[in-house]
Structure formats: structure tokens, C-alpha cells
Structure 1
């Protein structure tokens, strides 16, 4: 343990430095982390990184999914739920099937069941990689919402395939009727457990006298508890965390005070950054162990590399085909939501963009490492080392090939300039602030019109919200004035909550303004 601790601390330092370098180079930090882990793994004398397969899901997935569900715009998810659902479930199933067929035909020793196992592992695109890559280029709000929503749900669908394939490999049989019932329980049970526990956690936060530190500590353990309980009932822990996270995120203004929201934002951002960094470093650090396993099984490295490149090609082609199939289905069944005739270029380029955003990462690595070493009867799990190596090749190639070329294609070719058709963010922000100022001013005039005209605090408020002037000192801030000020802040929150129902308003802008209101409330406490 004493020998491993310096290595773990060095990993965190490396993650921070590589992230700084990635920002300077304007490339996604997962790419640098994977490559750095690969080079570090060949340094002699370093301890080998070994993770218990039974713990890999439980350690990394719950907090990563929980944080993602808090960050995503649920309004945008509802708006694009059809295409998100098709990519998260239908496209994942089609991709897994394509990998299964290709592996069965071209990779020696792979049965259909092993092919589906490999397909379930490699089919879900990684949200962290996609988000880190697209932050350096401007993409439409709708596209960003689709990618984020898909990333929340495709993990669950791919892991369902993974679990069913494990059962088929272990038992040697697959009964469709039982699989269908098991699938329904996995989905519905996972969502139900997540929603129920989320409601319980909200009541705990609301009813107990918790300070910000206690609130944040509870949010850190809640995703693990959701995941663990769902798995005890043999349903999807991933869906439990996602559904519970979305439920709690939509009610954050109800059960968390301003101090808890402000502090939790920083804590969770740092926590998730470290987790993601460790996982991507591990991807590179695991390579020597995987290659050693191939040698023990007598599998030539060239053959394994060829299999990895084959599966990578199948994954890319399957996703692009699925994207255009979704476009065709929309054109046939819902032509009213298709872009207008003046946007023909957008119509045909959007699927290409979605198809090229299939970088793999955390979930694929976690699933591959979670493959048991032996079957229930004690025999070695078939092709485990080759599956691990193929997964590594898929992650590396998709990050390097698609990850490095995606920003270049968008910026240099200018193919997607016509897609950016949303209202400019600055104009939206100005319109929101103008409406907010007018709303607060009317609130003051209507509720406190009986206040004496000479009341210094009220005059300051009216002046502040009518002219946006800043006071030179805080001597006017009496206890009575503070009460009114808190009411104004809550009034603003209510206005922004209603404004967020407008489909034209970007929820990210609303959340930024809510964060500013929280900061203002905390500043008020120290005056």
C-alpha cells in the first residue's frame, strides 16, 4: 500500500499536467491521457495496475453517470427523445449485432455469443471523450443535446447486452422468452428503483438540518447506493443512477440551498475530473498486462491488432449507417420535423456528424475488465484476453482517428456552418436579463408600494433594479432590507424556472444565471 500510494498521487499530478497541455494544444485530454498511460506502462520498475473486475463498475460508473445526469438539459432530452432513444437503444443493438456477425465470421474461435459480448462492450460511445473533443468547436445545441442524452442511456442498453451474452456463454443456451422478461425487468426495475430512492434522498435533504458539507457528502454516496440497491434486485444499476440523477437534478432548487449548490458544483467537477483521468490513464497502463495475456494464449500480436482494426471499422460503419437510417425513418414517418428545403445540406451532413462522434472510453474499458476470469464451472473464460486487447485497440483508434479528425472536419471544411441556426447566446442572455430586471422591478412596485417613500433600503432596491446602479457601500443593507433582498432572489429563481419552459431558451444560460443568483445570496450572508 505504501508503495502504491506515491504512484496514485503521481497519476493525479500527471492528469492535471496533461489536461493543461491538452488545453494548450486544443485537443481532448482523454487522447493525451491514453497515449501517456501507454508510454508510462513501458517504464521499468513501475507497479502493475490491476483492478478487481467485480469492483470496476461500482467504483467508476455510478458517480460519472450521476454527474452527467445533473449536467444535461432534461428539457432538451424531452425535445429530442425520439432520436436519443433510437441511438441509445436501436443503434446500440444494431452495432452489437454487426460486431457479433463480423467477429463470428472473421475472428477465429468467436461464437455468436462471444461476438455479442464484444459488441456489448464496444458499442456505447463515451460521453467524456465526445464532450472533451467538441468543446473546441461550435456545434448546434440540438446536436449537443442528442449526444449527451444518448451517452446517458446507451451505457444501460450496452450493458444489458453484455449481461445477456455472459449468461449465454456461461450456460450455453439463450431462451428468448426469459430474455424478454428479464429485459423488461432490467429496464423498468432500474428506473423504478432510481426514482424511488431519489425521492427518498430528496426528503432526507429537505427534512434533516444538514449543512452544505453534509449535503455534498450525501450526494457523493447517493449514486453508489442507487446502483447497489438496483443490482441487488437484479435490475439495471446504470438506469437507476441515471433516472434518479435526472429526478433529483430537476428539483435541485427545492432541496439544496444556495451554499450547497455552489460548493457541490466545484466538488463534483473536481471529483469527476479525477475519476475520468484515472480511467483513461488505466486504459493505457493496462496494455502490457493485456499483451502478456495474449502471449500466454499463443495469439499472435499481429492477428490481435488486425481483429481490433476490423471491429473498429465495423463500429464506425455501423454508426454512420444507423445515423442515415434514422434520417430516412424520420423523413418517412415524421416529415414535419425535417429541416426545411433550404437546409438540404444540413439534412445530409447531420447524420455524418453524429456517426463520426463514436469515440469509445470509460464504459467499454469497465465492461471488458469486468469479464470474469473463469466460468462457473472453473474453466477459463474463452477469448478473454483477446476481447480485452480488441477493446483497447477500439478505444485507442476511435480516440486518435475520430477524436483528432472530428474538430478538424468541422472547423476546416466548414461543412456544418449552416447547422448553427440557434439564437446567438449573447442575444439570448440580454433578452433574459432584460425580462428579469423588469420582472423584479414590477415585483417590488406591486408588493412594497405601501413602504414609505423615504425608506432608504427600498429606494436603493428600486434604483438598483431600474437603473442597475451599484451602491458604493453596504450601510443601507439593514435586516429588513436583507429580507426583501432574499425575496427578490427567490422571485428571480421562479421567473427563470418559468422562462426555462420556453423551448427557444438554452437551459445552460438559465443555469448560469441561477448560479449567479446563488452567489449573490451567499454574498448577502457576509454583509
Structure 2
């Protein structure tokens, strides 16, 4: 323990420093972390990092999925549900099937079940990697919503494939009828458990006398609890966490106060950043031990690298083909929602770039490390080290090759240059703020009409509100005015929540304004 603790503290410090360096270089921090982990692993005398395969999912997946569900725009997910659903389920299955068939044919002794196991591991793109890479270039909100929604759901579909393949490898048989029923229970049961527990947690937050620290602690516990309950009844813990997180995130204005929302955002941002950083460092740190395992099985390193290159090529090709298939299907069956572009060339370039966004990361590594060392009968799990090595090569290549070239391709092709309308976004923001001011003025007129007339404090209050309370003189803010001010802020929230129901309104602008209102309420508490 005294040896491991300083090492982990040093890992966290390295993660923070590497992130700073990545921001300065304007590259995605997962790329630097993987490379740094690989280089650090060659330092002699370092303790070997090993994580119990039975705990890898439980430690990392619930909070990462929970945070992603709270961050994504559910309205945008509903808007693009067809393409998100096709990429999250159909494309994942097609990718896993392609990997299974080709590896079964080309890798000696590699069964179809092992191929599906590998396919389930490497098929889901990583949201963290994609988000870290695309933050340095501008992409449309629709594309961002599709990538985020896909990554949120494809984790569930790929891990379901992984679970079935794991059973098939262990038992040597696969019964389709039982698999179909089990699949339905995992999906439907997982969603039902997530929604049920999400509702219970919302009620608990509303009825218990919680404050910001206790609310934040509860939100840290809740994803683990949901995941554990779902897994105990052999349902999908991933589906449960995703559905529960989406349910609660859409109701955050109801059961969390401004302090809980503001402080919780900072806590979760730091917590998830550390978790992601540790996983990406572990990817690099694990490689030497995986290579030793290959040598012990007599598998040449060059051969294993060739298999890794093969699987990476399959993944890239399958995703690009699927992207073009989705575009063709949309043009034929849903021409009204086809991608907008200034030219035919740009329209046909968009699926290529969408297919190039398939960087792998946290979920793939977690799934690979979760493969048991031995089967239930005590026999050694076949090809475990080879699968781990191929997964590492896939993650490394997609991060380095696709991750480093994607920003260049986007800026070079200027694919989204004609899509962005900064003046339109600014106009939408100004329209929202103007409507908000009109709403507040009418709210005050309707409720405090008698007190407005000739009341210097109320007149100053209105003026201060319009100037966003920037004045240093707060002596006029007595207890009565504070009560009114809080009512005004709550009225603004209700107005924005109703405004967000309009499908034409950008939810990101709404969330930014709600955050500003929360900050305003927190400022009021210290006056």
C-alpha cells in the first residue's frame, strides 16, 4: 500500500500536467496520456498496475456513463434518434460481425465466439476521445449530438454482445432463442430499472432535507447503485445507468437547488477527468505485461501487431461504409432531414469524416481487461493476451492516426464552414435574453404592480436586474427584495424550461442561461 499510493498520486499529478501540455499543443489529452503511459511503463522498478477483471466495469463505467447522460442534450437525441439508433445498434452489430468473420478466417484457432468477443470489445467509439479531439475544431451541433448520443448507447449494445460472446466461449454453444429472450430482458429490464430507480432518487432528493454536499454525494453513489441492482437481476447495468441518468438529468431543475447544480458540476467534471485519465494511462502501462503474455504463448510480436492492424482496418472500413449507407438511406427515405452542405462534394465528404471519428478508448479497454483469466471450469481463457494486445493496438492507432488527423481534415476541407452561422446563434441568444427580460418585467407587473408605483427600491431593483446586478452597492437588497429576487429567478427558469420545448431553440444556449441564473442566485446568498 505504501508503494502503490505514491505511485497513484504521481499518476494523478501526471494526468493534470499532461492535460495542461495537451491544451497548449492543441491536441487531445487521451493521445498524450496513452503515449505517456507507454513510456512510463518502461521505467524500471515501477509497481505493476493490475485491476481485478470483476471490478473494472463497476469502478469506471457507471460514473462515466452517468456524467455523459447528464451532459448530453436529450432534445437533440430525440431529434436525431434514427441515425443515433442505427449507429448505436446496427452499426455496432455489423462491426462486431465483420470482426468475427474475418478474424475467424485469418487467425488460426480463433473461433466465431472469440471473434464476436473481440468485436464487442472494439466496436464502440469513445466519447471522451472524440470530444477531446473535436473541441479544437468547430463541428455542427447536430454532428456533435449524433456522436454523443451514439457513444452513450453503443456502449450498451457492444457490452451486450460482449456478455453473450463471453458465455458462448465458456460454454461452447450459443442458443439463439435463449439469447433473444436474454437480450430483451437486458434492454427492457435495464431501462425499466434505471427509470424506476431514477424516479425514486428524484423523490428522495426532493423530500429529504439535503444540502449541496449531500446532493453531490448522492449523485456520486446513485450510478453505482443503479448499475449494481441491474446486474444482480442479470439485466444490463449500462442501460440502467444511461436511462436513469437521462431521466434525472431532464429533471435537475426540479430536485436540485442552484448550489447543488453549480458545485456538483465542478465536482463531476474533476472526478470524470481523473477517471478517464487513469484509464488512458493504464492503457499504456499494461502493454509490457500483455507483450510478456504473448511471448509466453509463443505468439510473435510482429504477428500480433499484424492482427491489430487488420482489426483496426476492419473497424475503420465498417464505420465508413455504414456512414455512407446511412446517408444513402436518408436521401432515399428521409430526404427532408438529409445533411445540409453547400455542394454535392461536401455532402459526400461528410460520411467519410463521420466514419473517421471512430476513436476507441475507455470502454474498449475496460471490456478487454474484464475478460477473466480463467473460465468457470478452471481452464485458461483462450487468446486472452492476444485480445488484450489487439485492443491496445486498436486504441493506440485510432487515437494517434485518426485523432491527430481528424482536426486537420475538418479544417482542410472546410466541410462545416458554410454550416456555421455565428450571426444566427448570436441573434438566437439575443432573442432569448430579450424574451426573458420581457417575461420578468411582466411577471413583476402582474404580481407586484402596487409596489412598483413610486417605490424607489423596486425601480432600482428592476434597473439592477437589467444590468445583471453588477453594481457594488447592494444596500438596497433587504430581505423583502431578496424574496422577490428569488421569485424572479425561479420565474426565469420556468420561462426557459418552457422555451426549451421549442425544437428550434438550441438547448445549449438555454443551459448556459440557466447556469447564469444559478450563479445569480448563489451571489444573492452572500449579499
TM-score by length of 1: 0.98
CA deviation profile, 1:231-253 (whole Å, cap 9, x unmatched): 00101000100000000000001
Give 3-state SS (helix, strand or coil) of 1:474's partner. coil
Matching residue of 1:280: 280
User: Aligned Cα RMSD in Å?
Assistant: 1.4
Corresponding position of 2:347: 347
Unaligned stretches of 5+ in structure 1? none
Give the superposition deviation at 1:106.
Answer: 1.2
- What is the aligned partner in structure 2 of residue 511 from structure 1? 511
Cα contact 1:457–1:478 (8 A) shared by 2: no
The answer to which of 166-175 and 341-350 deviates more is 341-350
Matches within 5 A, 1:386-401: 386-401=386-401
SS in structure 2 of the partner of residue 359 of structure 1 = coil
> Separation in 2 of the partners of 1:121 and 1:213?
37
Aligned equivalent of 1:265: 265
Deviation at 1:423, TM superposition (A): 6.1
Rounded Cα–Cα distance in structure 1 between residues aligned with 2:330 and 2:501: 25
* Secondary structure in structure 1 of the residue aligned to 2:110: coil
CA distance, structure 2, for counterparts of residue 63 and residue 293 of structure 1: 31
Q: Residues 316 and 356 of structure 2 are in contact (CA less than 8 Å); yes or no, is this contact kept in structure 1?
A: yes
CA contact (8 A) 1:365 1:391 kept: yes
Deviations 1:193-213 (A, max 9, x none): 000000111111110101110
Query: Does the 8 A contact of 2:350 with 2:415 survive in 1?
Result: no
Instruction: Name the counterpart of 2:367.
Output: 367
Q: Which residue of 2 aligns with 1:155?
A: 155
Extract unaligned runs of 5+ from structure 2: none
> Does 2:464 align with 1:464?
yes
1:61-460 aligned at under 5 Å gives the runs 61-339=61-339, 343-420=343-420, 424-451=424-451, 453-460=453-460
Q: Structure 1 stretches (4+) deviating beyond 6 angstroms? A: none
Give the corresponding residue for 1:482. Answer: 482
- Per-residue deviation at 1:345? 3.6
Judged with a 3 Å threshold, the aligned counterparts in structure 2 of structure 1 residues 341 and 246 are, in CA distance, closer, same or farther, namely closer
For residues 289-342 of structure 1, give each alpha carbon's deviation from its aligned partner in whole angstroms, at most 9, with x where no partner exists. Answer: 100100110100000000000000000000000011111111222222224685
CA contact (8 A) 1:193 1:226 kept: yes
- The answer to whether residue 55 in structure 2 is matched with residue 60 in structure 1 is no
Deviation of 1:465 after TM superposition, in Å, equals 4.6
CA deviations on 1:428-473 (whole Å, 9 max, x unpaired) are 2222111111111121122211115232321112323557674441
| In structure 2, C-alpha distance between the alignment counterparts of 1:127 and 1:446, rounded to whole Å | 47
User: What TM-score, normalized to structure 2?
Assistant: 0.98
Q: Does 1:34 align with 2:34?
A: yes
> 2: distance between equivalents of 1:182 and 1:519?
47
Aligned position for 1:473: 473
Matched residues in 2 for 1:341 and 1:310: separation? 33
In structure 2, C-alpha distance between the alignment counterparts of 1:31 and 1:477, rounded to whole Å = 51
Task: Report the equivalent of 2:14.
Answer: 14
> Hey, what's the Cα distance between the residues in 1 that align with 2:399 and 2:468?
48
